[in-house]
Chain A
Amino acid sequence: MGVDIAFWILAVVGVGAALAVVSLRDVFRAALSLVLCFLAVAGIYITLSADFLAAVQILIYVGAISVLIILAIMLTREVRRGSPSGKLRIPAFIVAVLFFGGVAFALLNTTWQVSGVPPLEPTTPAIAELLFGEGGFILPVEIAPILLLAAILGAIVLVREK
C-alpha cells in the first residue's frame, strides 16, 4: 500500500518535471527540472526494488550528467535566447500523441505473464554475479570501458583549442 502511494507521487512528480523540461522558456530552469525528473526516476527504481540501480541513477544522472548539461548551458551563453519551439511544433505534438496512443493500445491489449515471485533483495550481489560471473555479461562489461575511453578522447579532440 505504501509502495502504491509512493508510486503515484513519484509518477506525478516525474511527469510534471518532464513536462517542465519541454515547456519552460528558460533553459537553466529546464535543466533544473530535468534533475528533478531524474530524482523521481530514482525513486521509481526504489519502488521496483532495484536499490543498486537507484544509487547508480543518482550518482550518474543527478551527479554527473546534469552537471555536464548545466556546464554546457553556461559555456554557450544561449540562456538569454531561451528554448523556443521550431516551426514543427504542432506536427511534433501530433507525432508524440500518436506514438503514445499506439504504445498504450499495444501494451494494454497484451496479456503479460506476470510472475508472482517476490523480488530479489538486495540486488547488488546478484547483479555483480551476473556482470562478472561465469556465463554472465563479462564481454559487454569489457567493451564498455573502451566505449567510454573513445568518448572521452573524442570529447577532448572536439573541444581542444587549436
Chain B
Amino acid sequence: MSVGLEHYLILSAIIFSIGLYGALSKRNAIVILMSIELMLNAVNIAMVAFSRYIVPLLLTGQVFAIFVMVVAAAEVAVGLAIIISIYRHRETIDVTKIDLLKW
C-alpha cells in the first residue's frame, strides 16, 4: 500500500496528540513550551500534506506553514523571556508553584 494523504494526516495527528499530552501534563514550563512546538510542527505537516495532495500546483499550504514558523519563532522568544523573568523573581519554573493569580 503506497503512502498517501491519510498516512501524513495520521502522523500529524499522532504528533499533535503527543504534544497535547505533554502540554497538559508536565510541570516544567520549558517542557510545556517544547510540547507546544511539537503541536505546531504537527500542524505544519498536515498543511504541507494538504498542499501536496489536494492542490499540488498552488502551494498555499506551504505559504501558511511559513507564516506558522514566523509566529512560532516570535512565540518562543517571548515565552522563554517570560520563563526567565519568572525564574528571576520566584526561583522556580514549576507551573504548579506559579500561582500568583490563584485566589
Contact = CB atoms under 8 A, between A and B. Distances in A.
Given A72-B83, A76-B84, A21 B22 contact: yes
B61 to A, nearest CB: 9
A22 B18 CA distance: 7
Contacts of A95: 20-21, 24
Given A96-B21, A115-B54, 19 more contacts: A4-B2, A21-B18, A21-B34, A21-B35, A68-B80, A76-B93, A82-B28, A86-B25, A86-B26, A86-B27, A96-B20, A97-B17, A104-B13, A113-B54, A114-B4, A127-B59, A147-B71, A158-B81, A159-B81
Main secondary structure of the interface of B (DSSP, over half): helix
Contacts, number: 239
B3 A151 contact: no
B85 A50 contact: no
Contacts of A21: 18, 22, 31, 34-35, 38
Interface residues of A, number: 87
